[in-house]
Amino acid sequence: MTVIQLAAILMSAALVASMVSVEVGISVALIELAFGVALGNTFNLDPNQSWLVFLAGFASVVLTFLAGAEVDPDDFRERFGASISIGFVSFAGPFVAATLLALGPLGWTTKASLIAGTALSTTSLAVVYAVLVETGLNTVRVGKLIMSACFVTDMCTVIALSVIFIKPTVWLPVFLVVSVALIVLLPKASPWFFGRYGDRVIEPEIKLVFAILLLLMVLGTEANSQAVLPAFILGLVMSRHYQRHHEEQRRLRVVAFAFLTPFFFLRGGMNVSLAAVFANLGVLGVLVAAKMVPKLGLVYPLARRHASPNATFTTLLMSTGLTFGTISALYGLTAHIIDRTQFSLLVTVVVLSAIIPTAIAQQWFSPPATEHPHLALPPEPSEILIGESP
């Protein structure tokens, strides 16, 4: 199958998924994941074509940046302890449980067990953000808390994967320095850039964001690290800018959800091998329990304390997984730490955790959808002056 043929099939699937989402009232991300599983197993589509891997990876970074931009820095500081506590137990519980179960009852090797623990410890910031945006909960306190806690969980996962397995290269200091410089400088440069080049049909401000995120991806790859974490922080420090320029944020979100994210979610589903899953249903059940039981059991008490009356909704969304779970499992496969069957089982658990808890949360426990008008901050004086210049 040619590149064009596969792209046409996937975009057609994304269109149908959007129509189904509107009709049944379920997040399009979940439907795209399910379509990806169906397409990948029915037509034996290859999810590892280079163009698809790139688009899906870039989509995950863009989604993470947008998620960071939704978090109010003042709210984040105010509930820093809640974000840290919920995010950490969301990581630690399944990491320990999955590692021990894979090492003991399942008889996996030590390294394979650690890969299982890392892959199943994740919470999908991309899935959570997509659902919150579609339901209008990204601007309310519970939505912002969930996104902050997701970031903490994913940060712990990346640290675990890096410390246990990945050997940093000489590019790591460069990656860190550039990331910090962008986080410090971009909010300062944004008023000038927007005043000079913003509000044009050619969208220079969106191109600036994409160029920066691609630079982070390049350096992150060279450093054997991930661009997702600095992308979230970059979005976080840009949140005040987007409060002043909400339309700019909306256009960036439209580009992401219309073109990038369908490939991310469809590819996630395409990684599932149903044949391997049906041949190992017992192992699958053990791995699902290793991820879900600690997530539900440890997050819920903290959610009742910090997110009542939306504790169940918070707990279910914190139980999702996709991006880093797939990355961790794929690393284990390419490094020959796990085999193809183990990889399929881990990815299946990750995809199921992205679909089932989110669907339950959205169907029965979602807070009432509120359409709060966005309270934009006044523009900076420098932006007004620059905006008047030719």
Provide the pLDDT for residue 386. Answer: 41
Domain spans of the chain, in order of start = 47-265+280-388
Provide the pLDDT for residue 370. Answer: 55
**Residue 195 binned pLDDT confidence (cut-offs 50, 70, 90):** confident
> Thinking of the domain 47-265+280-388, which architecture would CATH place it in?
Up-down Bundle (1.20)
Query: Which amino acid does the sequence have at 120?
Result: L
**Residue 369 binned pLDDT confidence (cut-offs 50, 70, 90):** low
Average pLDDT of span 144-149: 90
Average pLDDT of span 60-80: 83
Higher local confidence (pLDDT), 139 or 299:
299
Higher local confidence (pLDDT), 321 or 116:
116
State pLDDT tens for residues 4-54.
Answer: 999 999 999 999 999 999 898 788 888 998 899 899 999 888 888 999 999
Q: Which residues contact 286 (CB under 8 A, 6 or more apart)?
A: 101, 105, 106
Higher local confidence (pLDDT), 247 or 17:
17
Higher local confidence (pLDDT), 160 or 316:
316
Provide the pLDDT for residue 135. Answer: 82
CA 251, 255, 261, 264: dihedral to nearest 10 degrees?
-140
> What whole-number distance in Å separates Cα of residue 257 and Cα of residue 169?
34
Give the chain's mean pLDDT. 87
Residue 184 has pLDDT above 60, yes or no: yes
Q: 50-54, 115-119, 163-167, 191-195 — which is least confidently predicted? A: 163-167
Q: Which residues contact 60 (CB under 8 A, 6 or more apart)?
A: 126, 228, 264, 323
Provide the pLDDT for residue 346. Answer: 93
The C-alpha angle with vertex 102 and arms to 100 and 105, in degrees rounded to 5, equals 90
Residue 297 has pLDDT above 70, yes or no: yes
Q: Return the closest-CA partner of residue 40 out of 284, 273, 361, 360.
A: 273
- Any idea what DSSP says for residue 46? -
Q: Return the closest-CA partner of residue 248 out of 203, 183, 300, 196.
A: 203
Percent of the chain at pLDDT > 70 equals: 94
